[in-house]
């Protein structure tokens, strides 16, 4: 998945917004003022990376399954994974990680926000990038 495809997928979620609170080169995706994804730019030495919230036991499973899934960079490593966008993690798996991250954040919101966003999302998943 390319960074642009990831950006499109992240903005697909209900009430998702893209911000740059850390300055250029780090795009933060939020819903209800809570971060669910962080996309770091690529450079000549490394591909782009995305950091996603994850349930702790699943985070460990994903790290064991995919070499491109690492403990969250500069975040709580129990609850965040960083995924290197080097093409080794299948797009559908990355989209599921993104959806899981969004739902992890929504689950911790106040009840009214949680119910509104859950209803808007329904059983949908973001479309696979083309």
Helix axes 3-12, 91-107, angle to 10 degrees: 40
Cα separation values, 59 from 37, 54, 69, 97, 113, Å:
15, 6, 9, 10, 25
User: Residue 35: inside a domain, yes or no?
Assistant: yes
Q: For the range 121-125, what are the long-range contacts, defined as Cβ-Cβ under 8 Å and sequence gap of 24 or more?
A: 121/13, 121/14, 125/95, 125/96, 125/99
How many separate domains does the chain show? 1
Q: Which of 94, 84, 14, 81 is nearest to 53 (CA)?
A: 81
User: Residue 45: inside a domain, yes or no?
Assistant: yes
**pLDDT band, very low/low/confident/very high, at 130 (cuts 50, 70, 90):** low
User: Residue 122: inside a domain, yes or no?
Assistant: no
**pTM given for the model:** 0.92
What pLDDT, on a 0 to 100 scale, did the predictor assign at position 129?
59
User: Residue 129: inside a domain, yes or no?
Assistant: no
Average predicted confidence (pLDDT) for the chain: 92
Q: Report the number of secondary-structure helices (H) and strands (E) in the chain.
A: 4, 6
How do residues 105-121 score in pLDDT, each as one tens digit?
999 999 999 999 988 98
> Could you tell me the two tokens for 99?
């959806």
What pLDDT, on a 0 to 100 scale, did the predictor assign at position 72?
92
Q: What is the mean pLDDT of residues 67-71?
A: 97
CB burial of residue 5 (10 Å; 0-12, 13-18, 19+): middle
User: Residue 130: inside a domain, yes or no?
Assistant: no
User: Residue 17: inside a domain, yes or no?
Assistant: yes
How do residues 27-47 score in pLDDT, each as one tens digit?
999 999 999 999 998 888 889
Using the predicted structure, report yes or no on whether residue 16 has a pLDDT greater than 90. yes
User: Residue 87: inside a domain, yes or no?
Assistant: yes
User: Residue 120: inside a domain, yes or no?
Assistant: no
Contact 89/83 with Cβ under 8 angstroms?
yes
What CATH number does residue 108 fall under? 3.90.1150.30
| Residue-number span of the structural domain to which 73 is assigned | 3-115
């Amino acid at each position: 998945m390319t960074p642009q495809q990831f950006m499109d997928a992240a903005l697909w979620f209900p009430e998702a917004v893209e911000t740059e609170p850390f300055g250029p080169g780090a795009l933060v995706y939020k819903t209800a003022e809570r971060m669910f994804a962080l996309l770091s730019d690529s450079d000549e030495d490394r591909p782009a990376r995305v950091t996603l919230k994850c349930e702790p036991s699943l985070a460990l499973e994903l790290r064991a399954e995919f070499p491109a899934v690492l403990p969250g960079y500069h975040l709580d490593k129990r609850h965040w994974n960083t995924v290197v966008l080097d093409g080794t993690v299948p797009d559908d798996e990355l989209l599921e990680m993104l959806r899981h991250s969004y739902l992890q954040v929504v689950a911790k919101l106040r009840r009214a926000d949680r119910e509104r966003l859950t209803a808007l999302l329904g059983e949908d998943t973001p479309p696979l990038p083309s």
